[in-house]
Amino acid sequence: VNVITTDALVVRTVAYGESDVIVTLLTEWTGKMSCIVRGGRKSTRRVAGALEPFHTIRVRVDDKGRELSTLREARLVNVRAGIVESLEAVEAAGIALRWARHLCPPRTPEPAAWTTLTTLLDDLDAREGDRSSPRALLAAAGLRLLADVGYALDLERCVSCGKPCPAERAAGIDGARGGLVCAACGGARRVLDSKARAAAVQAQRGKKSAIAPAQAEGLLSLVDEAMAVHADYER
Ligand SMILES: [Zn+2]
């Protein structure tokens, strides 16, 4: 048995049998893992308290090389209690964890995605007033997350013919096709103005505050389109 100790985020929990829980973790060192928590449904188990979402936990996992590992210990190392004070923050955090669950392959470390997610959760936890909207932070994190795992949208040149699009122009972007589609190649239903496109490029490069609240919904729709084609949806 290989014993793994790593930080992790809980991306899903499912009741299993009468007393157990199967938890899907995104771990810092081993990537996505599914673990059984024996007795996890009993609130008396100390482990169970650490399995609420949004917090960073440190886990000890017995890995037998099978699909399902066994979670032996879990303790909270970064509690993000501020998230649950805002419904918008809870929803944004939940969407980000779902994206990560779908986007990250099992047992493949994704250090950049780990950083993007934990940074987003920290920002949602520590939000000050209306200065940064959860939806705008989420849109920026989504664009970055796609880039982190190798699915960056191309927002600067046509995905079909490769022709660059001048930065000052609006452009049609097709999330499912991977980015910009120029007019000569048929264009795309969704059009980003030059400012939104520039903001999205900045967000992809890691500028988490690049997106203005008014740009968030359009960019989130785009991220959703892209996620839908790359994610291996395990509903
Ligand atoms: Zn083209």
pLDDT per residue rounded down to tens, the chain (235 residues): 899 999 999 999 999 999 899 999 999 999 999 999 988 877 666 676 788 899 999 999 999 888 899 999 999 999 999 999 999 999 999 999 999 999 998 999 999 999 999 999 999 998 765 557 999 999 999 999 999 999 999 999 999 999 999 999 999 999 999 999 999 999 999 999 999 999 999 999 999 889 999 999 999 999 999 999 887 644 3
Q: What is the pLDDT of residue 232?
A: 64
What is the residue whose two structure tokens read 């991977």?
178
Cα 129 to averaged position of ligand 1 atoms, centre (Å)? 42
Cα 54 to averaged position of ligand 1 atoms, centre (Å)? 41
Q: What is the pLDDT of residue 70?
A: 94
Q: What is the pLDDT of residue 131?
A: 56
By residue count, the chain amounts to 235
Cα 184 to averaged position of ligand 1 atoms, centre (Å)? 6
Cα 219 to averaged position of ligand 1 atoms, centre (Å)? 21
Angle, CA of 177, 178 and 184, to the nearest 5°? 65
Cα 232 to averaged position of ligand 1 atoms, centre (Å)? 28
| Spatial separation of the C-alpha atoms in residues 148 and 115, rounded to whole Å | 9
Residues with CB under 5 A from ligand 1 (ion): 158, 160-161, 182, 185
Cα 220 to averaged position of ligand 1 atoms, centre (Å)? 24
Cα 154 to averaged position of ligand 1 atoms, centre (Å)? 12
Cα 160 to averaged position of ligand 1 atoms, centre (Å)? 5
Q: What is the pLDDT of residue 222?
A: 96
Q: What is the pLDDT of residue 43?
A: 63
Q: What is the pLDDT of residue 48?
A: 66
Q: Which two tokens stand for residue 46?
A: 């100390």
Q: Which amino acid is at 178?
A: G
Cα 31 to averaged position of ligand 1 atoms, centre (Å)? 36
**DSSP 8-state class, residue 18:** T
Cα 157 to averaged position of ligand 1 atoms, centre (Å)? 8
Q: What is the pLDDT of residue 22?
A: 95
Cα 181 to averaged position of ligand 1 atoms, centre (Å)? 5
| Spatial separation of the C-alpha atoms in residues 149 and 80, rounded to whole Å | 25
| Spatial separation of the C-alpha atoms in residues 29 and 210, rounded to whole Å | 29
